[in-house]
Amino acid sequence: MAESKRPRIVIVGGGFGGLETAKALKGDDVDITLVDRSNHHLFQPLLYQVAMAGLSPAEIAAPIRAVLKHQTNCRVLLGEVTRVELENKRLHLDHGDSLSYDYLVVAAGAKTNFFGNDAWARHALGLKSLDDAVEIRRRVLLAFEAAERESDLDARRRLLTFVVIGGGPTGVEMAGGLAELSRFVLADDFREIAGKEPRVVLIEATDRLLPGLDDKLAKAAADQLEDLDVELKLSTRVTDISEHGVKLGDDWLRASTVVWSAGVCARSLASRLGSETARGGRVKVNADCSVPEHPEVSVIGDMAYFVPEGSEQPLPGVAQVAMQQGRFVARQIRRDLKQKPRETFEYFDKGMMATIGRSRAVAQSGRLKLTGFTAWIAWLFIHLIYLIGYRRRLIVLLEWFWGYVTYKRGARLITGDRAWERAQLLARQAEQGPHSGPVRVVDSRSDRDTPDTPDDAPGDATEDSSSSSTSVA
């Protein structure tokens, strides 16, 4: 069979940017191949709800093949890109195959950045994938199971201490979700634990929460968190993390569960492109989102370091940036094929929002600023709109309604083998201090994407990424 002469477009990544690029080219006379290391598109702004037992994984993820099943000019491959030959317009996959392209769109996303402290990854849980969310849920529920049987008050207090590092949208949402889960949802399940025993601590290195939002909204978010009894430690830096908790300066804060939401960096594919990178390993791109000297290659979303004209700061790695860049790049490919000049990408900021708990949220879009119940309703509405599939939207809406009325969450499941052994491990760690000697750490996240950023590589100080921050998409 003769090889197709249609332009070949390869998209790496099935997240917000990659999926939007493919969908924008529907009906065009091109051959599209979308490659992703996972078989599903993840609605990352709701990932924390899986971690907090509010939603099940299938309710925020959709198979990429199902999303694109009616797009006849697009095929989907499961695989990871190991090498890119820019000069030969070819990329290689982990299972030995290679793909030639006329246009390459790289939208592989970001990963957790520990800023060179890679050993911390053994003890602090990131929130970048469904596996991470399920592991956080497992760890929190196991801590309650161990505390239910613990007679030593100090050990039980340590088991029921949860630390969130990073005061961006993900950190705020995680802290609020942990507080609600601990004090309202699980209080009825674990009768031996007093309702006020669980402790949630949110640590932020700067002097305020939610960078990028108005000061008054940041203050409102802090007030709403404190209403939930979340302890805020602002202007506080973490100096070490172990199985016993976190070290703040010279003092240890003992905790059973530590969630890291303080930084992201581009995946290692960014460095394999051979192009110049900037802070966080993000690839510097031109005004049309293309790589310098390679107009046929575009990098978008969390992997792109795009500085708008007249600005000194790059665009944040949030969902709305990735989606707008995806549609823009598709339009530039279409203009190339029609031999029209390329345009300059102009980002339209629709705002940002973060939910803190039941009827608690903050939202900002231009001059419009909302807090409390009104912001929470806006948050619900926006996220329902952008979920993929009517059935999924209906299920999530019903889950939220049921949770609002009853304070119950149906996804309180501890999955994986040897659950009680892991609960016993947490109990043993709770009885030891941070200097009592090593305790073997059981970590079921064998396929976790551990950081491969060099120790001296700079990272993004904020965690605004499409996988971790909530924006008005």
CATH at residue 293? 3.50.50.60
381 and 291 in a single domain? The answer is no
pLDDT at 468 over 60: no
Structural domain includes residue 2: no
Structural domain includes residue 385: yes
- pLDDT band at residue 439, thresholds of 50, 70 and 90? very low
Residue range 43-87, pLDDT digits in tens: 999 999 999 999 999 999 999 999 999 999 999 999 999 999 999
pLDDT at 90 over 60: yes
- pLDDT band at residue 421, thresholds of 50, 70 and 90? low
Q: Which range, 184-188, 191-195, 284-288, 348-352, has the best average confidence (pLDDT)?
A: 284-288
Domain count, the chain: 2
248 and 395 in a single domain? The answer is yes
296 and 401 in a single domain? The answer is no
Bridge partner list, 84 = 91
Q: What's the pLDDT at 467?
A: 39
Please give the share of the chain, as a percent, with pLDDT higher than 90: 72
Mean pLDDT in residue range 372-392:
93
Beta carbons of 217 and 224 less than 8 angstroms apart: no
Provide the mean pLDDT of the chain: 88
Q: What's the pLDDT at 452?
A: 44
Q: What's the pLDDT at 391?
A: 87
303 and 154 in a single domain? The answer is no
Structural domain includes residue 362: yes
Structural domain includes residue 149: yes
257 and 138 in a single domain? The answer is yes
Mean pLDDT in residue range 320-337:
98
As a whole number of Å, the end-to-end CA separation of the chain is 43
The catalytic residues are 173
Residues in contact with 42: Cβ distance below 8 Å, sequence separation at least 6, in sequence order: 15, 60, 61, 129, 130, 467
pLDDT at 133 over 50: yes
Tell me which residue of 113, 132, 136 sits closest to 44, measured CA to CA. 132
Please give the share of the chain, as a percent, with pLDDT higher than 70: 88
pLDDT at 250 over 80: yes
Provide the residue range defining the domain that includes 57.
8-111+265-337
Query: Of the given ranges (173-182, 404-413, 432-441), which has the lowest mean pLDDT?
Result: 432-441
Residue range 283-312, pLDDT digits in tens: 999 999 999 999 999 999 999 999 999 899
User: Tokens in use for 396?
Assistant: 């999530």
292 and 332 in a single domain? The answer is yes
Q: How far apart are CA 207 and CA 276, in angstroms?
A: 33
User: Tokens in use for 266?
Assistant: 């581009």
Structural domain includes residue 52: yes
Residue where one domain finishes, among candidates 337, 370, 399: 337
Q: How far apart are CA 405 and CA 464, in angstroms?
A: 31
- pLDDT band at residue 137, thresholds of 50, 70 and 90? very high
257 and 301 in a single domain? The answer is no
Residue where one domain finishes, among candidates 311, 337, 363: 337
pLDDT at 461 over 90: no
Tell me which residue of 263, 281, 264, 262 sits closest to 273, measured CA to CA. 281
Beta carbons of 370 and 213 less than 8 angstroms apart: no
CATH at residue 204? 3.50.50.100
Residue with tokens 């989907």: 76
Structural domain includes residue 91: yes
pLDDT at 18 over 50: yes
Residue range 166-176, pLDDT digits in tens: 999 999 999 99
- pLDDT band at residue 4, thresholds of 50, 70 and 90? low
241 and 152 in a single domain? The answer is yes
305 and 190 in a single domain? The answer is no
Mean pLDDT in residue range 187-211:
87
329 and 368 in a single domain? The answer is no
Q: What is the DSSP string of 151-200?
A: --HHHHHHHTEEEEE--SHHHHHHHHHHHHIIIIITTTT-TTS-TT--EE
Q: Please, which contacts does 421-424 make with residues 24 or more away whose CB atoms are closer than 8 Å?
A: 422/138, 422/142, 423/142, 423/143, 423/145, 423/146, 424/146
127 and 15 in a single domain? The answer is no
Q: What's the pLDDT at 22?
A: 98
256 and 293 in a single domain? The answer is no
Q: What's the pLDDT at 420?
A: 62
Structural domain includes residue 230: yes
Structural domain includes residue 188: yes
